[in-house]
Amino acid sequence: MVAAGCAGVAAGTAPTGVQPPPPAPAPAVHFAVKGDWGFGGADQAAVTRRMCREHRANPFAFVLTTGDNFYRPDGVATADNFTRPEACLIRAGVPWRPAWGNHDLGGDGTATALGESRRWYTFSRGPLRVVVLDANRPGDTRQLAFLRRTLGAARQPVRVVAFHQPAYTLGLHAPGETQQRLWAPLFRRYGVALVLQGHNHAYERLVVGGVTYITTGGGGAPVYPCVRFSRDAKACNPVHHFLLVDATAGGLRVRAMRPSGALLEDVRVPARIPAS
């Protein structure tokens, strides 16, 4: 017998005039970032030990790098600069998502040990679209076309770009004029919220044209001082560190962490709407 008031309603369908519930929001994505890291020695090991403690408490979806993954010898993954200091991350099976730095050009460690032979590529996780670029070749027309095409087609609400040589920086190495001229306008136009950079061995944060630029180059190599002035600067600390990042549909939370567990910064970066 059909209950009164429900006649004609098929099983599993909503009654007339009742809207189905909205789709569940994409789950948050938790990941780590470090750059200029594969130097060997106590500083790299200390950064990685803290990363592994954080991973055990809240597992990383991946580890994103801003390049200079292997030093001494350049570009070559060895026991001293990779398998011993990174052993806890390797055992945990955390995927690597590396950018290629200038030191990485000397060997194939980024391709063989970290599993990424491409110099520019993209991937997505939940609400997050990540674009990794090769700042060794910022004027490459194929890469520029890839960047424009990828950002233009992105449907994820939060867009992050990562590369090595910085577009904007306060450190010893000068800002990249080609990155500023060719890439930065696309970041603004297509709603990039966060740009992650390396090359200068410090933690830096600048906000330029509404886009947050963070240099994270304190993963293990000797640190560099902050030597430049910019009205766009928000922070600069020449210390070893890594980043913990949480991405939701509304934006990003970025925490810069010392190996001791001390917090350098805890920053909220809202998602940006692409220009129409």
**Radius of gyration of the CA atoms of the chain, in A:** 21
What is the predicted pLDDT for the residue at 2?
Answer: 37
Residue 6, pLDDT > 60, answer: no
Q: What percent of the chain has pLDDT over 90?
A: 89
Fold (topology level) of 29-270: Purple Acid Phosphatase; chain A, domain 2 (3.60.21)
**Nearest CA to 37 among 162, 204, 223?**
223
Contact 213, 197 (CB under 8 A): yes
pLDDT tens digit sequence for 250-271 = 999 999 999 999 999 999 999 9
Q: Cβ atoms within 10 A of the Cβ of 137, count?
A: 15
| Mean pLDDT to the nearest integer, 5-10 | 39
Taking the C-alpha atoms of residue 52 and residue 23, their distance in angstroms, rounded to an integer, is 34
Contact 226, 202 (CB under 8 A): yes
| Mean pLDDT to the nearest integer, 125-140 | 98
Q: How confident is the model at residue 27 (pLDDT cuts 50, 70, 90)?
A: confident
Q: How confident is the model at residue 240 (pLDDT cuts 50, 70, 90)?
A: very high
pLDDT tens digit sequence for 74-100 = 999 999 999 999 999 999 999 999 999
Q: Tell me if residue 38 falls in helix, strand or coil.
A: coil
Taking the C-alpha atoms of residue 225 and residue 192, their distance in angstroms, rounded to an integer, is 28
Q: What is the pTM of this model?
A: 0.91
**Nearest CA to 250 among 26, 78, 6, 21?**
26
Q: What angle do CA 52, 95, 49 make, to 5 degrees?
A: 15
pLDDT tens digit sequence for 200-226 = 999 999 999 999 999 999 999 999 999
Q: Tell me if residue 91 falls in helix, strand or coil.
A: helix
Helix, strand counts (H, E) of the chain: 6, 13
Residue 22, pLDDT > 80, answer: no
* Per-domain boundaries in the chain: 29-270
pLDDT tens digit sequence for 159-203 = 999 999 999 999 999 999 999 999 999 999 999 999 999 999 999
Contact 95, 67 (CB under 8 A): no
Length of the chain: 276
Q: How confident is the model at residue 45 (pLDDT cuts 50, 70, 90)?
A: very high
What is the predicted pLDDT for the residue at 4?
Answer: 39
Taking the C-alpha atoms of residue 153 and residue 276, their distance in angstroms, rounded to an integer, is 13
